[in-house]
Amino acid sequence: MPELLLELFSEEIPARMQARAAEDLARLLAEALAPLAPADVQTFFGPRRIALACGIGAAVPENRSAERGPRLTAPEAALAGFLRKHGVARDALREEGDFWVLEKVTPGIAAADLIARQLPALLRRFPWPKSMRWGGTSAFTWVRPLRRILCLLDGSVVRFDLRDGADDGHGLASDALSEGHRFLAPAPFAVRSAAAWLGGLRERYVIADAAERRTLIAKQLQDLAAAHALHIVEDAALLDEVTGLVEWPVPLLGRIDPAYMDLPAEVMQVSMRVNQRYFALRDAAGHVAPWFAFIANIPARDGGTAIIAGNERVLRARFADARHFWDADRTRALQSRLPALDAVTFHARLGSQGDRMRRITRLAGRIAVLIGADTAHAERAAQLAKADLVTGMVGEFPELQGVMGRYYALHDREAMEVADAIRDHYAPRGAADDVPAQPVGIAVALADKIDTLAAFFAIGEKPTGSGDPFALRRAALGVIRIIREHGLRLRLGPIIAAAAAGLPARPDGDELLGFLAERLRVQLRAEGARHDVLAAVLGLGIDDDLARLLARTDAVAALLGTDDGANLLVGYRRAANILRIEERKDGPYDAAPDADLLQLPEEVALAAALDSVAADVARLLGEERFSAAMEALATLRPKLDAFFDRVTVNDPRPELRRNRLRLLARVRAAMHLAADFSRIEG
C-alpha cells in the first residue's frame, strides 16, 4: 500500500494535550480518508509536533450504480423533482420496465487528490481544548502557532494549503520538510518516507515516538539513581508530563540543600513535581534522599554542571517558600482555623465548608458506633479534617490537603488515630490507592463520601453520561471499596437518611442506593467477575448491606458454576419461556397447583420437592446461609429435568395444562427467592 506521512509542526504543545491530539488526528483522518481504507496507523507526538503514518489505498475507484426514479406515467412534477435532486437532465435517464432509471457514475479519485481535498478542512476543525490565533488577520487557529505541514504520499508531496476564501491561512502550505531539535539541529531537512523521517529526526536529536521516549526516560532515571544507591519515587503522571516536554532527554542529578531536609517528605515531593517537574528519590531504607533528578532537553558541554547549579538554586527558592508556609501554619492550631471554614463556600446550594464539617462530624460519630471505632476520636477527626484547607501550605499545594492536616494535628498533640484519620479520610483517591486501614479513618472517610453523595443527589446534581463534575462516581467507588475490603456489615439506607440532616432537600435514598449498586456492578465487570449475577440478585430489590449483597451474589455465581446449577438454569429458562408465551393467552398462573390434578409421577415429585425446597431456601436466605440455600435450590435440578422429559405441559385437557403451568410458575417463584435468573447472561 502507498505510505502516507503527515507531520504538523508547531511551537510548543502543552504536554497534557499531546496524546489526545494524536488520537484525534488518527480518528479524523480515518473518517476523512475512509474510502482509502487507512491501515497500520502509527501516531507520534511530542513538544513541537503531532504526526501520523499509515498505509492507504492508491485511489478510490470509479463507482457505478443505478437508482430507480418515478414511474413512466408519473406526473411531470415528480420527474422534475427527481432530476433536480440529482442535478441531471432528462437525457441522463433511461427507461426500464415501468420506471425511469438514472445511471449514476461516481468518478474515481487518486489518493493524493482526496488527501489534498480533505486535509485543509480537517485541520481547520481540529478539536484542541484551547487554541489561538497569531499574526495577521487569519481566522485559522491551532494550539500554538503552526509552522510547517509535512505531507507525503509514497515520497511525493501532497500539495495543499490552508487558504479559505480571503483568509490566507497564515500562508501555510504542505511540503516535504521537517525540523530537528530547536537548538541542536534547527535547520529544515527534506523527508521522503516515514522511516527517513524517524531516522532524520533521531540524527537531529529528536526521538519522535513518545512511547520510546517515555521508556528511555524511565530507564535513564533508574540507572542514574542506581549509580548512587538510590531509587526514584514512582510517579507515572510526572513521567508522562516530562515525556511531553523534551525531545532529546538527558538525565541529571542535583543536591537538595541540607537546610530543607526537615520539611515533610510530601511537601518536598509535591513542590518539586508541581513547580519544577523534578523526581524525588529515596535511599535504600526508604528515607528521603538529599537528591533530586530531572530531565534536560539538551546535552551540555560541561556535563550539566551549570544546568544542575541553576536548578539547585531554583529549588532552594521553592523550598524557602514551602518553609515559610510550614513555619507560619504551625503558629496556629487547627482548632483555631475552624471558624474560617464558614467563609469558604463548598457549593452555592449546599453551604460552606463549615456546614459540611458539621454534617460529616455527626455522620462520622454515627458510623463509628456501627463499626466499633472510637466515637470521640472519629468526631474529633471529622471536625478537624477540613481545617487544613485554610492553611497557607494547602492554599499553595491543594494536593496536600489531608496530608498537611495530619502533620498539623500531630504538632497540636492530637491523638495519633485522629491525625491519621485526617490524612486518610480522602482515601481512596483513585483505583491504585489504599483504603483507610484504621477504624477511625474508615468512619471519617465513609462519612465524607456519603455526605458528598447525599448532598449532590439532594440538589439534583447527579452524574450524566457526559460528565461527573463533582466526582460522585469516585466517591461511590470509594464507599464500595472501603466496605468490600474491610468486609463491613453496614446498612447504608439509615446512614444515607442520617446524612440528609442539615441538607436543603432530602435525597432519594433508593435512587442513591441504586447508583451505588450500579457502581458495584461496573467494578465487578472491571474485575472480570459475574456482574450479571449481581444484576440478577438486585432484580429482587436493592439490599443496602453491600457485604450481604456480595455474599449472596458469590453464592449464586458458585451455583451457576456447577453442573447442577448450569442445568437448573436451562430448566428455569425453559419454564420461564413457556410461561411467558402461555401467560399472554390466559395467565397469570399464580394460584397453587391442585394436588388432585397431579397425575404423572414426575409432576408429583416436582411438586413435593418444591414444597420442601422453597421453605428451606427462604429459611436459609433469612439466616444468611447463602451457600446452603443454593445447595438446596440445586436439588430441584433432577426433578425439573425429569418433569420436562416425561410431562407434556400443554396437555389438550385444559385443567391439566393450567395445573402444570401453575407448577412451572412455582418453579420460577422458588428460583426467584435467590435471584432473578432471567437477568443471567449467556
What are the tens digits of pLDDT across the range 204-218? 999 999 999 999 999
Please name the residue that has the C-alpha cell 435532486.
Answer: 85
Confidence check: pLDDT of 286 > 90: yes
Give Cα 680 distance to the centre of its chain. 25
Please name the residue that has the C-alpha cell 385444559.
Answer: 654
Instruction: Give the whole-angstrom CA distance, residue 484 versus residue 617.
Output: 25
Please name the residue that has the C-alpha cell 419461556.
Answer: 577
Sequence-ordered strand ranges (E) for 215-365: 231-232, 250-255, 279-282, 288-296, 345-347, 351-352
Nearest Cα neighbor of 608 from 639, 564, 576, 572 is 639
Among 3.90.105, 1.10.3210, 1.10.287, 2.40.30, what is the CATH number of 335-529?
A: 1.10.3210
DSSP labels for 264-295? -HHHHHHHIIIII-PEEEE-TTSPEEEEEEEE
Confidence grade of residue 431 (pLDDT, cut at 50, 70, 90)? confident
Reported as a single tens digit per residue, the pLDDT across 450-493 is 999 999 999 999 998 878 999 999 999 999 999 999 999 999 99
Confidence grade of residue 227 (pLDDT, cut at 50, 70, 90)? very high
Confidence check: pLDDT of 293 > 80: yes
For residues 565 and 634, is the Cβ–Cβ distance under 8 A?
Answer: yes
Nearest Cα neighbor of 649 from 591, 606, 596 is 606
Q: What 3-state DSSP class applies to 477?
A: helix
Sequence-ordered strand ranges (E) for 197-256: 231-232, 250-255
Confidence grade of residue 230 (pLDDT, cut at 50, 70, 90)? very high
What residue spans define the domains of the chain? 3-59+111-203, 63-106, 210-329, 335-529, 562-679
Cell numbers describing residue 162? 490552508
| Edge-to-edge strand list for the sheet holding 63-71 | 63-71, 99-106, 93-96
Mean pLDDT along residues 19-39: 96
Instruction: Give the whole-angstrom CA distance, residue 234 versus residue 45.
Output: 23
Confidence check: pLDDT of 501 > 90: no
The span from the first CA to the last CA of the chain, in angstroms, equals: 41
Instruction: Give the whole-angstrom CA distance, residue 436 versus residue 443.
Output: 9
User: What's the DSSP call for residue 193?
Assistant: S
pLDDT of residue 246: 98
CATH class name, domain 562-679: mainly alpha
Q: What percent of the chain has pLDDT over 90?
A: 90
pLDDT of residue 262: 95
Instruction: Give the whole-angstrom CA distance, residue 444 versus residue 439.
Output: 9
Q: Which residues contact 115 (CB under 8 A, 6 or more apart)?
A: 4, 33, 151, 153, 158, 160
| Choice between 324 and 531, residue whose per-residue pLDDT is larger | 324
